Amino acid sequence: MKNLKKAAKIEKVFVEPDEEIVFTLEKILNSDGSRAVLVIPHNAALITSSISLKILARQLAKSDKLVVLVSDTETGQKLAAKASLVAKKRISEVDKNSWEKAKELKESWLLEKARIKKELISARNGAEAAAGEAAGDAEIFAAESLKQDAKATIKGENVKATVVDEEAVPVLIPEKKRLPEKVVQVGGINVFAGGDITDNVELLMAERDKNLDEGDIEEMQERIKAMEEQKQAQDVQPKGDAANTIIGKDLTSATSSFQPKSRQEKRLPVQGLTSKLAGIGGFFNRLLVGITEGNKMKKYIFGFILATCAFMAVAYFFFSSVSITLTFAENTVKLNSKITAGVSVTDIDPENLKIPGIELSKNSSMSEEASATGQGKKGDPAKGVVKIYNKTSKAVTIKAGTLITNINTNLKYKVVSDVTLNADEAKDDQAIEAETFGENYNITVKSVVTFSVAGYITDDVIAYGFRDVTGGTSQNIVVVSKEDIDSLKASLEEKLKKELLDALNTLISADDILLNGSEKFVTNEFTTSKKENEEADKFTADLKMSVTALKVTKSDLKSIAEEIARKESGIDNLSTIKVSDPLVSDIVVTEDGKNATFGIKSNAGVVSDVDENVIKEDIKGKSLDEAKSYLSEVPGLDEFKITYSPPFIPFFLQRIPSDPEKITVVKQAASEK
């Protein structure tokens, strides 16, 4: 008997939404009873796929458990039917027929499994019998074949060996004849197919030659011929030719050819100047001896002249330099463009006229007290008793708080306590209380007062008042009005906005420009110590606000203004542009406060420019007149000035030094003079 009761025991198994099938199966198999109700929630992973339910059905069929699924979704019902499982929408629907159906499905699956197994065994036995016959035939054939040459061929076909029952038995398997080799073209690409194409060199060469025209073949033949001639020439050349080696040579004689060009250029002029000075000194020395011989005073004079000439020669050749001041004309370009600053923009975009916008934010809170000015009333509710009748044929319960209505005045009263009335029963002295305070709720009973009970018609349940209802009072009081709350909130908002703007200004540096109008104020929280129409002489309010705004940098504005001026004036990149601080106007901010479009106005001074290194290279070694003629042709140059040093060198000897390092170029705008 105990075993029968255990077998009939039903246990509920609940599935978690994200539970894996293995854990669900484990719960079922570990349950005490032989029957289990599997309760599946509508969002469980188990009923998202029929595969999971089919696996569950196959595993349960191998056990002694009967399972009925409970799923309230249409998908769960359909997937369970596909998996041959019984499914119900509610637990209450699981009855005897459900368990019988589950048992039938399980037995039908087991019978089907046994049938398939039997068919497979029969098929395997038939295959084994056929294989046995084939093996016997193979042995007979092998015995006959061993009498012949093991390497013989039958009808020109190759003989291969296979293994039957782990013994090598030669079985004649004719190899398939290879397809004839050929070349096919697929999508313009030559594909070699059939046979062993690598064995047929002629085929490969023929196909390669098809892709070559006569010019290609001639060019290839010439290249091959040139390579062969070059190789023969290398083989004939002696390996140890002393003329082509560095053995025995004086390497110092070749160092000059490896001297860097810049160093040679610096050394050669010095050597030339030294020889020139030596020749000049010797000439003056011979001249001095011839002229001053026998005259001491003249000797001193000519010595001074010689020293002066020598000094000037040294200064001319070694210490001469030139300073050139170039003054360029300045053109003014007026800018008036619309640009956009965005938080998502990371770099200056001259093409689309966009610059980075930087978002600022600040939070603050403030509390303040105010006086209440609203007018209100308060008082006590009227109280009394009534008699309640239940005219129905069954008991009713009137809950505390149920409203009863004076039929004459339509004023409402509340039942103070629960009242239970049997069929056709009435109860006296049931306490009632006015819905709110006021003298108008007081009742002086001159005759019976009739009350209707909420939720019932008077023919079923009714209440009568036989005694006075008294105690209702009212008086005027000061309350917090809606106007009081709104006025205090507006005052706090005005003060907080000013405070937040001052806080924003602390985040602005000298290089920043706050985009006026981009400020967005948000009220985060507003609370009052007293609610609307609540009695109070004074009350307090707390307000929390935040503000966001956009700023841009002056350097970004100048950079994009320079690019706009360069584009509008059509000048080259060598020109210098000087932009005054742009003025920002007509700011329009998007609703989310992340982007702003505005106009900028500025004056840009455009100054032409030249590469000073090019100037130096072009005028070095020229006379001053030639240099002036060259500079007068430079585009955009307003005026120039050449200062030669040392100044005591005679004008006719003055020339621009050949060394660019001795030339200084100073560039300036006309406004900087």
**290-310 confidence digits (pLDDT tens):** 554 545 677 778 778 888 888
Task: Please report which confidence band the pLDDT of residue 314 belongs to, taking 50, 70 and 90 as the band edges.
Answer: confident
Domain membership of residue 312 (yes or no) is: yes
pLDDT of residue 189: 57
pLDDT of residue 478: 94
Cα(504)–Cα(549) distance, integer angstroms: 8
Task: Please report which confidence band the pLDDT of residue 180 belongs to, taking 50, 70 and 90 as the band edges.
Answer: low
Domain membership of residue 387 (yes or no) is: yes
Residues 18, 79 share a domain: yes
Q: What percent of the chain has pLDDT over 70?
A: 70
Q: Which two tokens stand for residue 78?
A: 């359909």
Helix 624-631 to helix 612-619 angle, to the nearest 10 degrees? Answer: 140
pLDDT at 241 over 50: no
Domain membership of residue 153 (yes or no) is: no
Q: Which of 413, 432, 430, 412 is nearest to 421 (CA)?
A: 430
Structural element, H or E, at residue 294 = none
The model's pLDDT over 4-54, given as tens digits with 9 standing for 90+, comes to 344 457 888 888 888 888 888 888 888 888 888 888 888 888 887 778 888
Cα(329)–Cα(673) distance, integer angstroms: 11
pLDDT of residue 345: 92
pLDDT at 463 over 70: yes
Least confident of 86-90, 241-245, 570-574: 241-245
* Rounded to 5°, angle at Cα 407 from 405 and 412: 20
Residues 388, 469 share a domain: yes
Residue 197 DSSP symbol: G
Q: Is the pTM of this model over 0.85?
A: no
- The three-class DSSP label of residue 219 is helix
Q: 408 is in which domain, residue-wise?
A: 380-473
**Pairing label, strands 330-342, 354-356:** parallel
Q: Which of 648, 644, 641, 649 is nearest to 666 (CA)?
A: 641
Measured in degrees and rounded to the nearest 5, phi and psi for residue 117 equal: -65, -40
The model's pLDDT over 517-574, given as tens digits with 9 standing for 90+, comes to 888 999 999 999 999 999 999 999 999 999 999 999 998 988 888 888 877 766 655 5
pLDDT at 410 over 90: yes
How many structural domains are present in the chain?
4
Residues 89, 12 share a domain: yes
Least confident of 285-289, 319-323, 532-536: 285-289
Q: Which residue has the higher pLDDT, 257 or 81?
A: 81
Q: Where are the beta strands (DSSP E) in 438-529?
A: 449-453, 461-465, 475-479, 512-514, 520-528
Domain membership of residue 581 (yes or no) is: no
Taking the alpha carbons of 33, 37, 38, 43 in that order, is the dihedral positive or negative? negative
pLDDT of residue 450: 94
pLDDT of residue 486: 94
The model's pLDDT over 129-149, given as tens digits with 9 standing for 90+, comes to 655 555 455 444 444 444 444
Residues 464, 412 share a domain: yes
pLDDT of residue 121: 80
Domain membership of residue 293 (yes or no) is: yes
* Rounded to 5°, angle at Cα 188 from 185 and 191: 35
pLDDT of residue 461: 95
Q: Which of 205, 197, 157 is nearest to 180 (CA)?
A: 197
Task: Please report which confidence band the pLDDT of residue 196 belongs to, taking 50, 70 and 90 as the band edges.
Answer: low
Query: What's the farthest any 2 CA atoms get from each other in the chain?
Result: 173
Task: Please report which confidence band the pLDDT of residue 62 belongs to, taking 50, 70 and 90 as the band edges.
Answer: confident
Could you say which of 94, 115, 131 is where a domain stops? 94
The half-sphere exposure of 110 on its side-chain side, counting CA atoms within 13 A, is: 12
Residues 281, 200 share a domain: no
Supply the CATH number for residue 45's domain.
Answer: 3.40.1260
- The three-class DSSP label of residue 473 is coil
Burial of 248 (0-12, 13-18, 19+ CB in 10 A): exposed
pLDDT at 160 over 80: no
Q: Which two tokens stand for residue 36?
A: 């289990």
Cα(413)–Cα(453) distance, integer angstroms: 10
Residues 25, 87 share a domain: yes
Residues 284, 209 share a domain: no
**Pairing label, strands 425-437, 412-415:** antiparallel
Domain membership of residue 645 (yes or no) is: no
Q: What are the start-end ranges of the H helices in 193-242?
A: 201-210, 214-236
What average pLDDT does the structure give for the chain? Answer: 77
pLDDT of residue 395: 94
pLDDT at 164 over 80: no
Domain membership of residue 367 (yes or no) is: no
pLDDT at 406 over 50: yes
Could you say which of 451, 473, 495 is where a domain stops? 473
The model's pLDDT over 470-508, given as tens digits with 9 standing for 90+, comes to 999 999 999 999 999 999 999 999 999 999 999 988 988
**Pairing label, strands 381-390, 425-437:** antiparallel
Q: What are the start-end ranges of the H helices in 319-474?
A: none
Could you say which of 77, 94, 111 is where a domain stops? 94
CA 433 to chain centroid, in Å, comes to 66
Cα(131)–Cα(140) distance, integer angstroms: 14
Most confident of 121-135, 235-249, 579-593: 579-593
Q: Which two tokens stand for residue 556?
A: 């970004």
Domain membership of residue 279 (yes or no) is: yes
- The alpha carbon torsion through 392, 395, 401, 403 (nearest 10 deg) reads 0
pLDDT of residue 5: 40
CA distances from 538 to 266, 365, 379, 532 (A): 96, 20, 21, 12
Q: Which of 192, 167, 164, 165 is nearest to 180 (CA)?
A: 192
